[in-house]
């Protein structure tokens, strides 16, 4: 990292400029429990591979991770399944909305990638087979990665999602009809909605994803000599998928504007990886028409313009 970079000053500038973006999107009101979130919030954290952390704004306010958890469940599935995972889910951008069912019908129930809803449901199905209590297995991994024992899912949000998960349930049954779903869809949807309702702050999320910037090695206060969470090659491959598929059907636009591996969520969060340098988490609840945070994308674009970090991922 360029030692002349004044990250606290840069974050302060971004925080100031981002206020002008409020009002240009809308919160994810199709999930009733998220409809009441104050839209005019913004937080951002940069955590570097050498353990420094810089935050601004609402970076210590917990928010609903939603689809950002698809990154973590995918990593867990990759760890236990290896390359066998790709028999059930693809590695290509979808070009369709994150909750589209159309491609499943034309492609025999095999989702395009692990980060659209259909792909994440297959991943959750795989993990439901592997873990008796997937929700706690995921929390355990997140607590280790974030070095934070007090992480939980929001039960109110989980119930709200489960009660309105009709399209996801339809996808699950459709994939089961093609033999690409092994557990009962109801049980998988229970796990899926709980994982999406997991809450973290920007500061916690940046730390939890730092292993992707550090060749698979998690930053741990408790055991600095701990084994890598992923191999360096696996981390590189995860980052490649985040770059091409991590921002729903706006992945190409994100790659063009920001140039970093990212995972977005309809809770308004975005995590971005700068390989060899840092993990960046940003949160602002107002979304664009693709389901990505308006202010969050703006902030990341400003960050890479000021640092040149977007050139380090490709």
Q: Is 117 annotated as a binding residue?
A: yes
Do the domains spanning 7-65+200-307 and 67-196 agree at the CATH topology level? yes
Torsion of CA 283, 286, 289, 294, to 10 degrees: -50
Residue 1 has pLDDT above 80, yes or no: no
Q: For the packed helices 185-196 and 69-81, what is the interaxial angle rounded to 10 degrees?
A: 130
pLDDT digits (tens, 9 = 90+) for 260-292: 999 999 999 999 999 999 999 999 999 999 999
Q: Measured between alpha carbons, how far is 80 from 82 in angstroms, rounded to an integer?
A: 6
pLDDT at 226: 61
For the chain, which residues make up each domain, given as ranges?
A: 7-65+200-307, 67-196
- With cut-offs at 50, 70 and 90, classify the pLDDT of residue 3: low
The Cα angle at residue 120 between residues 25 and 70, in degrees rounded to 5: 60
Q: Which of 27, 49, 89, 266 is catalytic?
A: 266
| Top CATH class, 7-65+200-307 | alpha beta
Q: Is 192 a catalytic residue?
A: yes
What is 67-196's CATH number?
3.40.710.10
Residue 30 among the catalytic residues? no
Burial class of residue 193 in the structure, from the number of CB atoms within 10 Å of its CB (0-12 exposed, 13-18 middle, 19+ buried): buried
Q: Which of 53, 55, 64, 67 is catalytic?
A: 67
Q: Are 49 and 276 in contact (CB under 8 A)?
A: yes
Annotated active-site residue 266? The verdict is yes
Q: Is 173 a catalytic residue?
A: no
From the list 208, 216, 277, 166, the residue with the least C-alpha distance to 68 is 208
Report how far residue 98's alpha carbon sits from residue 103's, in angstroms, rounded to the nearest whole number.
11
Q: Indicate the pairing of strand 278-283 with strand 53-57.
A: unpaired
Write out pLDDT tens, residues 172-230. Answer: 999 999 999 999 999 999 999 999 999 999 999 999 999 999 999 987 654 555 678 99
User: Is 248 annotated in the active site?
Assistant: yes
Model-level pTM? 0.95
């Amino acid at each position: 990292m360029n030692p002349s970079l004044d990250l606290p000053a840069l974050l302060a500038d971004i925080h100031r400029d981002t206020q002008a973006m409020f009002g240009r999107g809308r919160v994810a009101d199709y999930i009733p429990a998220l409809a009441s979130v104050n839209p005019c919030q913004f937080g951002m954290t940069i955590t570097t591979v050498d353990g420094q952390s810089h935050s601004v704004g609402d970076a210590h306010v917990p928010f609903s991770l939603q689809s950002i958890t698809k990154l973590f469940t995918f990593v867990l599935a990759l760890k236990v399944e290896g390359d066998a995972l790709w028999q059930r889910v693809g590695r290509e951008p979808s070009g369709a909305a994150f909750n589209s069912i159309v491609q499943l019908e034309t492609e025999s129930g095999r989702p395009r990638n692990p980060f659209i809803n259909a792909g994440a449901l297959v991943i959750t199905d795989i993990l439901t087979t592997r873990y008796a209590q997937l929700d706690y297995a995921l929390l355990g991994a997140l607590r280790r990665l974030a070095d934070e024992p007090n992480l939980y899912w929001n039960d109110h949000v989980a119930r709200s999602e489960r009660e309105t998960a009709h399209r996801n349930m339809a996808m699950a049954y459709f994939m089961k009809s093609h033999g690409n779903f092994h557990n009962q869809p109801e049980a998988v949807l229970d796990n899926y909605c709980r994982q999406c309702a997991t809450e973290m702050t920007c500061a916690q999320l940046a730390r939890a994803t730092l292993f992707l910037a550090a060749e698979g090695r998690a930053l741990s206060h408790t055991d600095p000599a701990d084994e890598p969470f992923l191999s360096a090659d696996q981390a590189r491959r995860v980052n490649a998928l985040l770059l091409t598929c991590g921002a729903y059907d706006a992945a190409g636009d994100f790659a063009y504007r920001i140039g970093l591996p990212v995972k977005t969520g309809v809770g308004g969060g975005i995590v971005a990886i700068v390989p060899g340098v840092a993990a960046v988490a940003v949160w602002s609840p107002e979304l664009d028409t693709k389901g990505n945070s308006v202010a969050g994308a703006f902030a990341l674009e400003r960050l890479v313009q000021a640092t040149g970090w977007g050139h380090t991922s490709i």
